[in-house]
Chains A and B, each alone.
Chain A
Amino acid sequence: MGIAYNFDWGVLWRQPYGVWLLKGVWLTIQLGLLGWFIALALGIFIGTIRISRWRWLRFLGTAYVEVFRNIPFLVQLFFWYYAGPMLFGQTLQFRINAIIGLNYYVAIVALGLYTASRVAEHVRAGFGSIARDQYQAALSTGLTEVQMYRYVIIPYALRIIIPPLTTEFLTIFKNSSIAMTIGVAEATFMSYKIDSETFHGLEATTGAMAIYLILGLAVVKLMGILESRFRIAGLVGRK
């Protein structure tokens, strides 16, 4: 005798569950966008110092990338949330732990730091894909090294790496669901919560799946627009 499962899609918009899910989606978007901001800024910086002329700067960049991309994100998140504040010493630790919404901030920073290591690798690959002649040509026009990077190399490299960055941008939204484990009430958290209250887990999970799919498609569309907007004829792509 099997136990029939009665689908009730109403839980997705019935009060208060619909509002929960929407609140969760809003948090997921915040985590993804703010985390991406940190990841992009830090990732470009780390990626650039990895090809720097100074050895210790290169070493610093490499160390950062290897540490952050080789530790599972879940472990990193737990570390930052539970052990992170301890790094600041006894008195400051309790100050930090008393911050309202600490888990939310930790999740954003952790997502940013983790994704930055991956962005940095793409940035380095982008620099690598620019021919040596290009560097020499830029220097021979009288640009300083910093100017060369600022006006020639970085603008090229960023355009080249738009497709792999799209993947990272998508991944940050998907990784944001792990923030649930430190109690950030994002979309997956809310779908679990609806499940525990209504026992309609399949509907709630399907709802969450649809949300992530829509978010992902929106990101792909956005990055596609960016890509065509900043395209330099003949640089990448066939058109």
Chain B
Amino acid sequence: MRKIFIITFCFILSMILIGSVVLADETMDRIEKTGKLRVGFREDSIPFAFIDPKVGKQVGFSVDMTYELAKKLSEHFGKKIEVEPFTVTTKTRIPMVANATVDVEMGSTTYTQEREDVVDFSLIFFFSETTFLVPKDSPIKTIQDLNGKRLAGARGTTNLKAIEDQAAKGLYKPREIITVEGHAQGFLALRTGKFDAYSTDRSLLEGLRMKDANPENWRTCDFAIAYEPYGYMMRKNTSDFRHFLNDTIRWSIKTGKFFELYDKWMGPKGVVPIPISPAYKSYLEVIVYPMQENWWKKK
């Protein structure tokens, strides 16, 4: 069944390819002609793209980033480019991007090599990190400190698999890896000293920590043992458009707009507080190469 899908995608893509031999970048031309940027948004990916019940439409970090893109596109074409939102789900997002229903999907899609075969990805703008929640005065500060410690994760999560895989690879040698049924039990067991560190996504760990009566008694580790990189998804072979989106992301980092949006959605007072880890921060700093003012001007 999956093969048929992929073959269908390849067929559609090849049709698009044939068309794009003539046009430099179909997407950019179409956006200029229609004045509309068609974007796929999720409805449930908090805090990246989700429905705000008060306004009844999609909001979130990636949605705000879309409006940044539309603003830059407007400046590029010298005419108002409007955002036309489409709702996508985890099941429909790849087909809708591949069959050109939307120009780009802006949410929280994990970059994988299999997906790269069917669609193109923007620069990675966020990392969902597998890390650990530990008591405030725990000696665990670096990955090496995990040696000889008792680690735990919830059954069936990618995080538990990451702990096991990294231990098997020899990144660290834990004394024991313990499985629990869910995050609530994991936190309870951590509190009573059944293990030294509990693992899941950084955002979820922060959520657990904040729910405790004394959040300051706990801390999430700075390091991460595994990353799930998020990127924006667009049709293959739309290099001008992709370049433009990447430059928008980079420019927003350079001007600080990126951090402003991050703080709005994932800052201490945001919808889901996720501290920027040192590794993520350096990544963001590194991908901004010197950019000229007015890079968005049409040449």
Distance of A97 Cα from B194 Cα, bound (Å): 5
In chain B, positions 179-235 with a C-beta closer than 8 Å to chain A are 179-181, 185, 188-189, 192-194
- Does B1 count as interface, using CB distance less than 8 angstroms? yes
Stretch at the interface among A48-56, A189-197, A223-231: A189-197
A192 in contact with B175 (CB, 8 Å): no
Q: Which residues of A contact B (CB under 8 A)?
A: 3-4, 82, 85-86, 93-94, 97-98, 100-103, 181-183, 185, 189, 192-193, 196-197
A96 CB to nearest chain B CB (Å): 9
Is B155 interfacial (CB-CB < 8 Å)? yes
Chain B residues whose CB sits within 8 angstroms of the CB of A183 once the complex forms: 152, 155, 178-181
Contact A93 B193 (CB under 8 A): yes
**B1 near A3: Cβ-Cβ < 8 Å:** yes
Contacts of A197 in B (CB 8 A): 161
Fill in one digit per residue for B42-55: 1 if any A CB lies within 8 Å of its CB, else 0: 00000000000000
Q: Which of chain A's residues has its CB closest to B192's CB?
A: A97
Given contacts A183-B180, A185-B179, contact A94 B188 (CB under 8 A): no
> At the interface, yes or no: B156 with Cβ under 8 Å from chain A?
yes
Report A-chain residues with C-beta under 8 Å of the C-beta of B150: 100
B182, closest chain A residue (CB): A181
Question: In chain B between 1 and 29, which residues have their CB closer than 8 angstroms to a CB of chain A?
Answer: 1
> Given the interface contacts A100-B176, A185-B179, A196-B156, does A93 sit within 8 Å of B1 by beta carbon?
no
Q: List A contacts of B193 (CB < 8 A).
A: 93-94, 97-98
Q: Are A181 and B176 in contact (CB under 8 A)?
A: no
Contacts of A101 in B (CB 8 A): 176
Given A82-B185, A100-B175, A183-B180; A192-B156 close (CB under 8 Å): yes
Report Cα–Cα, A24/B180, bound state, in Å. Answer: 17
Which chain A residues lie closer than 8 Å to B179 at the CB level? 183, 185, 189
Given the complex of chains A and B, what is the CA–CA distance between A101 and B176 in angstroms?
Answer: 8
Name the A residues within 8 Å of B156 (CB-CB). Answer: 192, 196
Structural contact, A93 and B192, CB atoms closer than 8 A: yes
- Whether the pair B155, A102 counts as a contact (CB closer than 8 A) is no
Q: List 26 A-B contacts (CB under 8 A).
A: A4-B1, A82-B185, A82-B189, A82-B192, A85-B192, A97-B192, A97-B193, A98-B193, A100-B150, A100-B175, A102-B194, A103-B178, A181-B181, A182-B180, A182-B181, A183-B152, A183-B155, A183-B179, A183-B181, A185-B179, A189-B179, A192-B155, A193-B155, A196-B155, A196-B156, A197-B161
